[in-house]
Every structure is written in structure tokens, then in C-alpha cells.
Chains A and B, each alone.
Chain A
Amino acid sequence: EADIYQTPRYLVIGTGKKITLECSQTMGHDKMYWYQQDPGMELHLIHYSYGVNSTEKGDLSSESTVSRIRTEHFPLTLESARPSHTSQYLCASSVTGGRTEAFFGQGTRLTVV
């Protein structure tokens, strides 16, 4: 059982609101990732981190921002939500070294109205 948690699981919010999606893992993994996925579609990497105070943008441009102040915590923030941000957001973590398999949270399904 993977120890990575995302909250909230579902969020419906109005346009222009600021939101933060939480992601925490208790496995001590140094790498963490955020993916965006529309229903039935591929996953797009939007942010990743190799450790504390390390954040990088992924392959898909995103208006969101992330921070990594603690190893176990990797929150994603949208300063002003728009309907185009409606999607599922998946957080994952992995450890550097031989076994790079990633563990995923259950995701946050965001709807901006």
C-alpha cells in the first residue's frame, strides 16, 4: 500500500479563486511529481522536484506553481482558477537510485465553474 495522499479528492470552485492541492508522502522519497490528466487521456507532467527547495517545470506548460519546503510535502497552487484548469491532478513520488518506480496518490478532480 502506497503512503502518498492527496487532498481534496474532489473540488468544485468558482473562477478566480486561489486553490492549493495538497500532496504528502511518508516514504521519505526525494522525487515528487505532479501530473495533469483529462478523462481517458494521457498524463502530462507539469511539475517535478528532486528534493527540498528543488522544483522544475514539466513538459506541459501550466499556470500552477509548486513548492518543496519539506521532503514529504509538495503542494500545487493555482492563484486564479479558470475553467480551463478543470482536470484531474495526480501526485507521485519516487526514490533516486535503482528502483525508480513511482507511487501515485488517488488524485484530485478539480472542476472550475
Chain B
Amino acid sequence: SQQGEEDPQALSIQEGENATMNCSYKTSINNLQWYRQNSGRGLVHLILIRSNEREKHSGRLRVTLDTSKKSSSLLITASRAADTASYFCVLVQGAQKLVFGQGTRLTINP
């Protein structure tokens, strides 16, 4: 399969807790990106990590990439209600097609 596989498929946590989502893949990649989709703002790019990077930070987001295990994780710290959304791991391969995984549906409970 050329797409990433997110785990878990659904996650429900309390506001203020940290949320961790994982993505595994089978092909070689140029870079890996994470996107968020909610009903209000549609699909939005969150963060990009290149194949030669191991960790990236952006605000409350932390992404790791382990190319030897072909896996990535997205950590959202101090979650807020506004973080409720679906999160997608996107592989960017040689031809620079963007291939989406199935996504993780994150629910933040007040």
C-alpha cells in the first residue's frame, strides 16, 4: 500500500491531556506531512518532516519520524476543544503525489 496507516482510528481524551497519533507506512518517502480536517476550516496543513529529520516542533505539535521503522507520530500537548478533528498522515513520494491515510478521529471532551 502506498498510503500511511494511522493508529488509533479514533481517540477520545479530556481537555488538557496530550494526544498521540501514529502513522506507519511501507514505501520510501521524500517527506511526511500531517493535516487536520474539521467542519469549520476544512483541510489544513499542520507540519512537514523530511526523511532526513527525526523530530519537528510547531507550537503544541511535535512530530517524530523513524525511517528505519517506517513510522511517524504526532503529539498534541495540552489539548483544547478546538483540536477536535480528523488528523491525516500524508506520504510524499518520489513523484510528489500526496497520498492520504484513513485518518484518526480525535475528540476532546470538556
Residues of A within 8 A of B (CB): 31, 33, 35, 40-45, 48, 58-59, 90, 92, 94, 96, 99-107
- In the bound complex, residues from chain A placing their C-beta under 8 Å from that of B31 are 100
Name the prevailing secondary structure of the B interface residues. Answer: strand
Residues of B within 8 A of A (CB): 2-3, 30-31, 33, 35, 42-45, 48, 86, 88, 90, 92, 96-103, 105
A82 to B96: give the CA distance in the assembly, Å.
31
By beta carbon, the residue of chain A nearest B105 is A40
- Establish whether residues B97 and A102, one from each chain, have CB atoms under 8 Å apart when the complex forms: no
By beta carbon, the residue of chain B nearest A102 is B98
- Minimum Cβ distance to chain A for residue B39 (Å): 11
- Establish whether residues A104 and B103, one from each chain, have CB atoms under 8 Å apart when the complex forms: no
- Minimum Cβ distance to chain B for residue A51 (Å): 12
* Residues A104 and B44 in contact in the complex (CB < 8 Å), given A40-B105, A43-B88, A59-B2: yes
- Establish whether residues B100 and A35, one from each chain, have CB atoms under 8 Å apart when the complex forms: yes
- Establish whether residues B105 and A102, one from each chain, have CB atoms under 8 Å apart when the complex forms: no
